[in-house]
Amino acid sequence: MQNNSLKHAIDLPNPISGSFFHANWAAPSHVKTLITTRNGGVSQGVYASLNVGAHVGDNPDHVAHNRALVQAQVPVPIAYLNQIHSSDVVQAAHSVNSPLNADASWDNTGTVACASMTADCLPVLFCDRAGTVVAAAHAGWRGLANGVLQNTIAAMGVAPIEIIAYLAPAIGAEAFEVGQDVWDAFCQNHTEAQSAFHSIGGGKYLADIYLLAKLILKREGVTSVFGGEHCTVLERDSFFSYRRDGQTGRMVSLIWLEK
């Protein structure tokens, strides 16, 4: 099942057809983004082909080649993180040479790109309306429930009303089956989160991770939110999906300030 909106969202920055697209949002022109698909790299088998995840069992030389392909599109170093499903946020420049254990990063210098690697979890890109600071968060359900978005907003150091967010490709509401523990994590303290869950019986639900993120952002005062139209599970030809395939690669969503 292919979402045709991807065809309209792709704005290719290089000749590798279908490898990258940009966030479609109302950010300042000097705030730059790049979001990879699964296509255009050298990885083989279950990792085919633009896998940038160095922790998933892929050939390290292939991962390095793929990361070089992505880096060639970005004029500043990419600050990959060692993502651990936490709510920790770091300054991106500190994670360039040796990836830090964290799930979000921010930058206000224009010397580094913030990165979020995913294969179903939700990547959230942030900037402020003036274009002075950017951030990227990796938000699985645990990170969302434990405050990774709230911590990222706080780290940016600007008023939440001045922040713009973009929800990059993640698992869609039709594919994200969860248990009672996930419902409890979001709904016990915030009854409005119940609107993001559809009961399918037996203590199971279909969860809308995009809506959960929007509700959290709204509570924090972030009212300008874009994206959230893709499903990494259903759009098999475009995205890696851990939920769908188990052993698989990773995409990356990037944001940086152009000097």
Domain ranges of the chain: 5-172+221-257
In the sheet that holds 122-128, the strands lie side by side as 89-91, 104-107, 134-139, 122-128, 163-167, 224-227
| Chain mean pLDDT for the chain | 93
The whole-number pLDDT of residue 53 equals: 98
Cα–Cα distances (Å) from 48 to 10, 38, 53, 96, 143, in that order, read 20, 7, 12, 26, 27
pLDDT confidence of 18, banded at 50, 70, 90?
confident
Average pLDDT on 28-40 reads: 97
Residue 169's pLDDT band (boundaries 50, 70, 90)?
very high
Q: Answer for the pair 149, 173: CB distance below 8 angstroms, yes or no.
A: no
Q: What is the pLDDT of residue 255?
A: 99
pLDDT at 2 over 90: no
Q: Would you say residue 14 has pLDDT above 50?
A: no
Would you state the pLDDT for residue 176?
Answer: 98
pLDDT value for 4: 33
164, pLDDT greater than 90: yes
**Segment 127-148 mean pLDDT:** 98
Structural domain 5-172+221-257, CATH architecture: 4-Layer Sandwich (3.60)
Exposed (0-12), middle (13-18) or buried (19+): which is 259, by Cβ within 10 Å?
exposed
Q: Give the Cα separation of 247 and 40 in Å (integer).
A: 19
- What is residue 259's predicted lDDT score, i.e. its pLDDT? 84
How far is residue 213's CA from residue 218's CA, in Å, rounded to a whole number?
A: 9
19-28 residue pLDDT tens: 999 999 999 9
**CA-to-CA distance for 119 and 109, rounded, in angstroms?**
28
User: What per-residue confidence (pLDDT) applies to 13?
Assistant: 34
Q: What is the mean pLDDT of residues 49-72?
A: 97
Model pLDDT for residues 95-114, shown as the tens digit of each residue: 999 999 999 999 999 999 99
Residue in this structure with the two tokens 């990879």, named with its chain if needed: 36
How many residues are there in the chain?
259
What is the structure's pLDDT at 15?
A: 33
Give the rounded percent of residues in the chain with a pLDDT score beyond 90: 93
In the chain, pLDDT over 70 holds for what percent of residues?
A: 93
Distance CA 150, CA 164 (A): 14
- pLDDT, tens digit, 9 for 90 and up, residues 201-235: 999 999 999 999 999 999 999 999 999 999 999 99
What is the distance in angstroms between the CA of the first residue and the CA of the last residue of the chain?
Answer: 40
Query: Which pLDDT does position 56 carry in this prediction?
Result: 97
- Give the span between the Cα atoms of 142 and 49, in whole angstroms: 28
Does residue 23 contact residue 125 with C-beta atoms inside 8 Å?
Answer: yes
Average pLDDT over residues 23-37: 98
In this prediction, residues 117-130 reach a mean pLDDT of 98
* CB environment 159-196: b (16+ within 10 A), e (fewer): ebebbbbbbbbbbbbebbebeeebbebbbeeeeebeeb
